[in-house]
Every structure is written in structure tokens, then in C-alpha cells.
Amino acid sequence: MENMNCVINRTKSLMKKFAVGLVGILMAISYPSFSQETTPALTYNAQEAQYYKISTVPIPDDIVLEVGGLVVLPNGKLAAATRRGEVWIIDVTNIDKPVFKLFAKGLHEPLGLKFKDNALYLSQRGELTKLVDEDGDEKADVYETVASWPVSGNYHEYSYGPVIKKDGSMYVSGNVGFYGHEWWRGYSMVPWRGWVQKVTPDGKITPFATGMRSPAGLGLNAEGDLFYSDNQGDWMGSGFITYLEEGDFTGHPAGLVWADRPESPVRLSDKDIYSRVDPRFAKPGEKPEKIEDDTTEKGTPFFKVAEDFPAIKIPSVWIPHYVMGVSTSDIIAITKENFGPFTGQVLVGDQGQSKINRVFLEKVKGEYQGAVFPFREGFSSGVMRLDWAKDGLFIGMTNRGWGSTGSEPYGLQKLKWTGKVPFEIKAVRAQPDGFELEFTMPVNKATAGNPASYQVTSFIYKYHPVYGSPPINDESCAVRAVVVSEDGLKARIVVDNLREKYIHEIRLNDVISDSQLPLIHPVTYYTLNNIPEGQKLETAHMGHNMNQGVVETSKGKNQKSKASSAKRVTSLPKGWSKPDAEIKIGTKPGLKYDVTKVEVKAGSKVKLTFNNNDDMPHNCVIVMPGTAIEVGNLAINLGIKGTEMNHIPNSDKVLYHTNLLGPGSKESIYFTAPTTPGDYTIVCTVPGHAYVMQSTFKVLPK
Amino acid sequence: MKIKNYVIGHLSRWSLFCLLISITFQISAQERKPMLLDVKNEAYVLRCFASHNDKVKSHAVAVGDPTNIHYLFDSDNGTLLKVWKGEFVDVAPMWINRGGGFFKTSAETKDISDVPVFAMLSDKNAIWPDSATFAKSYKFKGYKVDKTGRPTFSYSVNDLKVEDKMLPTEAKDGLSRELSITSDNEISNLYVLLAEGKDIKKSSKNTYTVAGKNYTLKLEGKAKPIIRESNGREELLLLVDGGKQANVKYTISL
């Protein structure tokens, strides 16, 4: 009950914050709409658009379609559940003139939707609900509670689902909550938060698996097996998707507090985890201090802990943070033949980067693993839900509370294949001595047959209570040889230094198709949980179309800079008695700084303190006028090295910056303001944030 | 030329400033202004978190009515938590930013009860169960809405099936509640908690005043409820004993 009171107090204090008044409100404006910058072309958008076209379903002004659940009904109409608790039936016969009809309302933030036996099923925060229209007036009259579960009343306790398996069993998932005490750490305050639960068609609900932190996506692959997606955060080095079986533990220990209950199928305790990785809880009586990555510590990857505990399920496919996405959402199998060459694979949405990734899955030694590829970006808001129409994919979106690369607050779009085959890496299959890459069309054998065209690096993440993780233990893997198949559709690369459980980044340089097209997405990340047995290539006896060569790339050095640099001076510079100006910057939810504008005099001595009071990492970078997006894009291109470089690209547009700060961390930097007056920008260069997280740094004439 | 540039520069800066201010107010209006749900034409059944007597009600249901008589129901206990008149609900805390906000209204609400609506008491002095005890026998089944959007809640307590319908009184001064109870077996020792409070008094035939809470309750039919003291407060209980079905109907006047 103490916790409950804590919740109420926090709510009250939040309400007080609401009432702060106009000053606070002024701060709430997202400034970039006034900046002079135009949105730049996204990295891949233009090429992707030739093969997969996005169209927008217009939404009437009086409907706030923040999509939490989306399903295409047997009659071709769409049903969309919204975060405001409405369910809309949308007739999209003419996609430019959709007809919206309100089917249900008043639901508690539904974040899932499925149709079965003439009823809609959805998760509200505290229950699985069945909606039925009994009298046929296209409005729900029955709101039946199929099964309910406890919630403590925390904002972060979102519930998702259901996904329905062939046997009729349904699965729902729930986030951990974040509370005042150690607010960066997820807690499971009531039973089965941080769990996936199974619900039988007659409403019997049982705990199924735990370790979830923010399990926004539940889906089936083409074989009908259950997968779920999770997001980067505490104990989660990066987002991923994982095949889920009863009794699994997937990473976040909060839910384990209920694992000793008789109905729990999970045979693991949080003490097991904490015996291997220090959870760094605040000591009794001590004020909790925000925990940061200990860069001096090598770190323990999750798979190391898994070696000792059979209940642990490591990710099937990691979706590397920043480079592939920031907030994994829906999972859906490509079951359509009219959607291009990827039938049988799965699509995975990403809310923060407004994009969809594609995942190829294979089973090696009985376990799922595979490769993730960028697929399509440039959606208008945060990609949350996906479902198939006869002739394409509907995408339901919302970015409320977090922000997304696509700047619309919500939206509904449709993605259609144009019928043209894109030149892509279609699949990657693990081999005993490397990988086999399959392409969507024949490759140019000269480029694809050259080992120098391939660059392979492997890395993994730390498993620790800190928010996110830098890539660790990265090593380069020399590509010894390549064999291109006769038909030009496959390239088998022989790679040194393969490491099981590691993520292998495979980068292709200058590989073109037989028809001279460049690869649209020349990079993929393969999670090599198991190396298959089998025949290795005899690289000593070269075949006539086998090319041999060794491409060594320098070993990555994980030296995250803690020392000052010219652009980041963290102690009072010599000769300064005190700064002329002291600026304090914090954050607001939804990718915002808590000030829209700061002013200093040209050439003045400035102390800037950035206090990251958000629940995700940010930095604070002062850039030349009008270059925020440009610098943000340079930061995206840093790839997996981005985190260790604090997402600070080496650019003369960057004037001053803080390090990348985790939630709850603070840093002060000292610098002399530019001597040229103007509107400089303070921007967060964490990939995806630069589009929205900006404030003006105004330099006034002396 | 210089003057022209100067003027244009200032004009554009001024228009930018005006735009900034207007958008500021739009956004501030959006963030600050209560977001009131429209219940003019149809009832609204809103699932929400609520705080009641400093306790979290994680499965609360706020029901707004065109008559402007509204109530808050706890679907975990079958309990009528609050009744009020006037503004329905401000959903801004739930619908702005990350959500998760609690039930909120600026209208003056009347707290009715905070404990389970039913109990099987082995004797009439037994202590009324708390929510945790009650939860073992109770299951919420959901609700049906009629053409006006008004809900009838369904739940079960052990082998009892309950239909629970609350409607505004014709005089629009309160709420009438009808509990329809059915069972496959003989109903025995079932108590319905009609009211609880500091000081409950019978004021006239079948009419009771709940002094601490400042409302009156009128029970329909011939059944005789009892007023008992328990845990330092008073409870108005009605015993349902015998038969396989029962109807309990009462009216709360604000």
C-alpha cells in the first residue's frame, strides 16, 4: 500500500506540474517548426519509394487516431483501436475518401486488436476485452471482460495484445512500471507486470513467460510460432525479437518477483540473476543515485548468464539500437505473395524511427536466429501496428509521449509493392565457416566475388541494470573467400573469428547487381546464436569462381572518452574566475528540452549544465545555425560506433557538446559563446532525436 | 533599399512572433484546458484509473450521462464509489503526453462506498470483507450498453450472477440502482451493502440519511435493512435469504 500511496503522490505531483502555468506551457512548444531547416531526404527513403510506395489515409480533423491496435476485417474494412480508447471501423474502399464509423469508446488505452468469430478482442490496461455488435448496427453493445489482471496505476503499465494462435489461445503482455524511487528502474508492483500471459478461449488466464520490460509487439512468424519484441532500457542493451515458449525468461528481472508463485512456469529467481550481475540497488538509508555504465568494466553479456540458467531465452534476433531502430513495435509475418520477394519473412515496426525492419529467421540447432535488414522508412508518425490488406500493408501510428522521426502525432498509411523487385540482400544463412547471402536478383560477379567487398564486425551488449548498453567486445572478422553461385543469386563468404551468440554486422561495399543496380540496404545484422555443423569450404583449393583474399580491418577500440576535449570542457577553465552565464537545461517527455530558447552574449563565458531527467539517454550539442538536422544525420551514420562516440560526429558544425547522458545523469560544460551573433541550435544527436529535440541557442550582440 | 529590407525583416520577425504566440496559446490551450467528454447525446462509459480515499482503483469505470448525473464504479468490487452532478470527466491527464493519468473532474463528487457490494456473512456480526478477500469469490464479466449508451454491469459472486444497472432518477437529482441476482442454488446469508458511513439514520419509511456523506437513500419494496456498527462506522445491510433470485432496488438522492 505504501507503493500505492507513492503512486498517488506522484500523480498529484504530476498534476501540480501540469498547473505550473504559461511558463511551462511556453516550454512545451516544439521549436523546430520555426527553424529555417527543411526536412532533409532520409537515408534510404528515395530508393525505397521506387519499390514500396506509401500512401496516406486521410483522417477527419475531429478524430484523433492514435493507433494502438489495427486489424483488417474479413470484409476488407479496417478496425483501429486508439489510445484515447475508441475503436473505429474504417471503410477504405476508396482510400482517399475513407468512411469512419465509431464502433466503441471509453476503453482504457487499448494497445492491440484482433478479430475472431465475429468479435473484436483487445487489451486494455487492466483486462482483455471482447467487443460484440449484437444488433448489427455497427456499434459494439457487448463489452465483455474475457480476463483481467492487476495494475498498480502507473503510466508505464501499458498492456498489449492479444495475438491469437491457431489453437485459439491468446497471449497478452504488460510493461513494467516506473516509480518515484529509483525512477529509472522498472518494477513489477503487482503480479504479472513484465510478463506475457496466456488466455484460453474460455477466459482462463495463466502466466506464460517473464523478463519483459516494454513488450510492445506480439506476433506470429510464418510458421505460426509466437514471437515478441522488446525495447532498449534497463537490463536491455538493445531492442530485439525473441521466440517465446512457456517458462522463458527474456532479460528484465522485475517480473521474477512473482516467479516463485505456484502458477508460475518460470524456474528462475531474481537472486539467480543478481548473483551474476550486480543490480546496483540503492543501499537502505542512502539516497538512490542514478546508475551509469561503468566503462572500466568489461561487462557481462546476457548469453553468459544464460549458460547457467536454462530458463533464460536469449534474443532470437537483436535489432541493434540506433542503427536499426530505437523502439521495436509490431511483428507480422509476410504471408502475401503480392508484396515482393520476401514472403515468409517477418516485418518489425519501429516507433521512434518511423520505420519497418525486415527479419529473416532460420532455425540452427533447433533454435531461431537470423538477420535484420532495413526495409522501409519515412512513415509519417511512430509505427505501432501493422496488418495486411489484400493488396498491401496498413500501418497504424502514434508518437504521443515519445516522439518519432515522422513528425505527425498519429496517422494511418498503407504500403504497397510497386511490382518492381528491389536489389536487396534477401536472406543471410549461417554456415559452418561464414555466411551465405542470398540476393533478390543476380549479382555482378566481379563485385560480389571480391572478398574486399565484405566487411564483417561482431559485437554484443552488456547485460546490466543500466539503461541500454554500448556495443562491447567488438572484433573484426576477416573475410577469407567468397564463392558466388552459378546463377548469381547467392554469395557464400568464408569468415574468420565467428563467435556464437554475437551480432555480426555484415557490410557490403560496392556490390552491384548484374543489371548494375546498387544495393538499397548494404548492411545487415545477423545474430549468430548457433554456428551450424556441416561442410566447410575448401578454401585451399580454389574453385574457378572462388576468390580469396583477406580483408583485415582494425580492431575496434572501446575507449569511451571521459576526458575533456576542446568541444567538451568539464571543469572551470583556467583564467575564468566565474562564468558570465549559467544555463541549466533539462528535458520534457516527448523528446523535448525543457527550454525552447536560451540567450547569451557573444563571446561570453558560459557554463551549461544538462540534467537528463528523461527516461532515455540524450546529449546536448550546440551546432552552427541551421545545421541541426545535418549534424543529426552525421550522427546516425556513425553506426554501431555511435554510442561510444556519444553520438558526436567529427564535424566543424559541432561547436560544443556534453557526453551522452543516461537517464538521471548530469554534466556541466564550459565554453566561450561564439563571437558571431545568431540563432545557433541546441540539439540532441541520439539517432532519430535531432528532428524534434532542438532548442535555440541565441547569441546576442555584445 | 536598406530601409525596405529593414522593414521586411521586422515585419517577418513580427509575423513569426505572432505565429509563435498564437501557436503557443493553441498548444497551451491543448495542454491546460480540461478535455471534457461530451455526454450531451449519449452516455459515456470510461474505463480509467481512479484514486478514491487515497487508494488506487485500477479498474474504475466512470459513467457519464446526458442528464448530468454521473457515477464512478469500481469493477473490482461491484462498488458504487462516487455520484455527482455537473461536469463529467476531464480526460486531459489520460490523453495528454504519456497518459496514465487518473480520473479527474472539477465537479463536487459524493463518496458513496469503498467496500465490496456483497458478502456472504455466516452471522450478522461478522466483519465485512475487504477487497482482497472479496476478490477470491468475485469475477467481473463486463457490461452491455443500451441504445442510449447506458451500461448494465455483469459480475458473479461465487455461484451468484449479478446484473447491476444504475440510472439517473427521473427528477435528475440522483441515481437509482437495481441489482438483479440469480443463482442455480438457494441464496442464503447474502448481504447487500446499501450504504456505509459515520452516521446512518432511518428518516422515514424505507428512507435513510447517511449523515457523514450528506445524502439520502430510499429502498424500494418491503425488505427491512439493518443498521449495524462495525469497525467504528455504520453499515446499512440488506439480507437476502431464500429463493433463487432476488431484486434489490434503491435510490440515492444527492
The structural domains of chain B, with segments of one domain joined by +, span 1-33, 44-253
**What pLDDT is attached to residue A32?**
28
Label residue B23 by pLDDT band (50, 70, 90). Answer: very low
Query: Are A3 and A179 within 8 A, CB to CB?
Result: yes
What average pLDDT score do residues A649-673 get? 91
Strand order in the sheet with A471-477: A328-333, A346-350, A355-364, A367-376, A523-528, A502-508, A454-461, A471-477
**What pLDDT is attached to residue A280?**
94
pLDDT tens-digit series, residues A421-457? 999 999 999 999 999 999 999 999 999 999 999 999 9
Write the CA distances from B223 to A526, B157, B163, B226, B238, integer angstroms.
73, 21, 19, 10, 8
DSSP chain B: -HHHHHHHHHHHHHHHHHHHHHHHHHHHHHHHS--BPP-SSS-EEEEEEEEETTEEEEEEEEEE-TTSEEEEEETTTTEEEEEEES---B-HHHHSTT--PBP--SSPEEE---S-SEEE-SSTTSPPP-HHHHHTTEEEEEEEE-TTS-EEEEEEETTEEEEEEEEE-TTSSEEEEEEEEEESS---SEEEEEEEES-EEEEETTEEEEGGGTEEEEE-SS---EEEEETTEEEEEEEE-SSSEEEEEEEEE-
B chain contacts of residue A84, beta-carbon cutoff 8 Å: 91, 95
> pLDDT at residue A17 above 80?
no
> pLDDT at residue A586 above 70?
yes
**What pLDDT is attached to residue A39?**
36
| Residue in A with minimal Cα distance to B46 | A106
> pLDDT at residue A585 above 60?
yes
Q: How far is B118 from chain A (nearest CA, A)?
A: 20
Residue B210's DSSP bridge partners are B200, B215
Write the CA distances from A250 to A186, A311, A331, A395, integer angstroms.
14, 9, 17, 27
Length of chain A: 702
Q: How far apart are the first and last CA of chain A?
A: 57
Contacting residues for A625 by C-beta, under 8 A, at least 6 apart: A678, A679, A680, A681
Nearest Cα neighbor of A69 from A217, A191, A190 is A217
Nearest Cα neighbor of A94 from A48, A136, A58 is A58
Q: How far is B56 from chain A (nearest CA, A)?
A: 6
Write the CA distances from B236 to B173, B178, B188, B202, B229, integer angstroms.
21, 16, 18, 10, 9
Q: Over A323-382, what HEC string results?
A: CCECCEEEEEECCCCCCCCCCCCEEEEECCCCEEEEEEEEEECCEEEEEEEEEECCCCCC
**Domain B44-253: which CATH class?**
mainly beta
Label residue A289 by pLDDT band (50, 70, 90). Answer: confident
**What pLDDT is attached to residue A103?**
98
**What pLDDT is attached to residue A42?**
47
A452 vs A288, residue with greater confidence: A452
**B65, three cell numbers:** 450521462
Helices and strands per DSSP (H, E), number in chain A: 7, 45
B chain contacts of residue A107, beta-carbon cutoff 8 Å: 47
Domain A35-278+299-417, CATH among 1.10.287.90, 2.120.10.30, 3.90.230.10, 2.30.110.10: 2.120.10.30
Instruction: Give Cα B71 distance to the centre of its chain.
Output: 4
Per the CB < 8 Å rule, is A25 touching B102? no
**What pLDDT is attached to residue A15?**
36
Label residue A242 by pLDDT band (50, 70, 90). Answer: very high
How far apart are the C-alpha atoms of A95 and A100, rounded to whole Å?
A: 12
**A282, three cell numbers:** 540503492
Q: How far is B103 from chain A (nearest CA, A)?
A: 11
A573 vs A547, residue with greater confidence: A573
**What pLDDT is attached to residue A27?**
30
Label residue A539 by pLDDT band (50, 70, 90). Answer: low
**What pLDDT is attached to residue A26?**
30
**What pLDDT is attached to residue A440?**
98
| Residue in A with minimal Cα distance to B21 | A26
Query: Are A95 and A55 within 8 A, CB to CB?
Result: yes
Do the first three CATH levels of A1-34+560-702 and A35-278+299-417 match, i.e. the same topology? no
Contact map slice: A 49-88 vs B, CB within 8 A: 83-85
Q: Residue A376: how many CA atoms within 13 Å on its side-chain side?
A: 24
DSSP state of A302: H
Q: Cis omega (within 30 of 0) on the bond before A162? A: yes
DSSP state of A453: G
pLDDT tens-digit series, residues A176-201? 999 977 888 999 999 999 999 999 99
A540 vs A172, residue with greater confidence: A172
How far apart are the C-alpha atoms of B180 and B77, rounded to whole Å?
A: 16
Q: How far is A481 from chain B (nearest CA, A)?
A: 51
Neighbours of A311 (CB within 10 A): 20
A14 touches chain B (CB under 8 A): yes
What average pLDDT score do residues A669-684 get? 95
Contact map slice: A 276-295 vs B, CB within 8 A: none
> pLDDT at residue A10 above 50?
no
Contact map slice: B 62-91 vs A, CB within 8 A: 75, 91
Label residue B32 by pLDDT band (50, 70, 90). Answer: low
Q: Which residue has the cell 504479472?
A: A192
Return the minimum-mean-pLDDT range out of A96-110, A157-171, B66-80, B115-129: B115-129
Helix (H/G/I), strand (E/B), else coil: A17: helix
Beta strand A605-611 pairing with A581-585 = parallel
Which of B46, B59, B88 would best serve as a mutation to test chain A binding (most A beta carbons within 10 A)? B59
**B187, three cell numbers:** 441464496
How far apart are the C-alpha atoms of A356 and A115, rounded to whole Å?
A: 23
Contacting residues for A266 by C-beta, under 8 A, at least 6 apart: A207, A209, A210, A247, A248, A249, A256, A259, A311
Beta-carbon pairs below 8 A across chains A and B: 118
Query: Are A620 and A591 within 8 A, CB to CB?
Result: no
Beta strand A170-174 pairing with A159-164 = antiparallel
B102 touches chain A (CB under 8 A): yes
Phi/psi of residue B65, nearest 5 degrees: -130, 145
Q: How far is B144 from chain A (nearest CA, A)?
A: 5
Per the CB < 8 Å rule, is B144 touching A105? no
What average pLDDT score do residues A345-371 get? 97
**What pLDDT is attached to residue B14?**
41
B chain contacts of residue A7, beta-carbon cutoff 8 Å: 56
DSSP state of A192: T
| Residue in B with minimal Cα distance to A591 | B97
Per the CB < 8 Å rule, is A105 touching B44? yes
Q: How far apart are the first and last CA of chain B?
A: 74
**Burial zone of A96 (CB within 10 Å; 0-12 exposed, 13-18 middle, 19+ buried):** exposed
Return the minimum-mean-pLDDT range out of A47-61, A141-155, A677-691, B43-57: A677-691
- Domain A425-551 sits in CATH at 2.60.40.1220
A191 touches chain B (CB under 8 A): no
**What pLDDT is attached to residue A341?**
98
A193 touches chain B (CB under 8 A): no
Nearest Cα neighbor of A628 from A37, A111, A136, A101 is A37
Query: Are B203 and B195 within 8 A, CB to CB?
Result: no
Q: How far is B49 from chain A (nearest CA, A)?
A: 6
Instruction: Indicate the pTM of the whole model.
Output: 0.83
Neighbours of B18 (CB within 10 A): 10
DSSP state of A639: G
DSSP state of A281: P
ipTM of this complex: 0.88
Query: Are A249 and A210 within 8 A, CB to CB?
Result: yes
Nearest Cα neighbor of A227 from A245, A239, A214 is A245
Q: How far is B4 from chain A (nearest CA, A)?
A: 21
Q: Could you confirm whether domain A1-34+560-702 is CATH 2.60.40.420?
A: yes
What average pLDDT score do residues B212-237 get? 92
Query: Are B218 and B249 within 8 A, CB to CB?
Result: no
Domain boundaries, chain A: 1-34+560-702, 35-278+299-417, 425-551
Query: Least CB-CB distance to B58: which of A28, A150, A155?
Result: A150
Helix (H/G/I), strand (E/B), else coil: A276: helix
Nearest Cα neighbor of A479 from A427, A527, A531, A437 is A437
Beta strand B55-64 pairing with B69-74 = antiparallel
**What pLDDT is attached to residue A665?**
86
Single-letter amino acid, residue A278: D
Label residue B114 by pLDDT band (50, 70, 90). Answer: very high
Contact map slice: B 126-165 vs A, CB within 8 A: 140-146, 151
Contact map slice: A 23-52 vs B, CB within 8 A: 25-26, 28-29, 33-34
What average pLDDT score do residues A395-414 get? 94
**The Cα angle at residue A643 between residues A642 and A648, in degrees rounded to 5:** 60
> pLDDT at residue A38 above 50?
no
Per the CB < 8 Å rule, is B98 touching A150? no
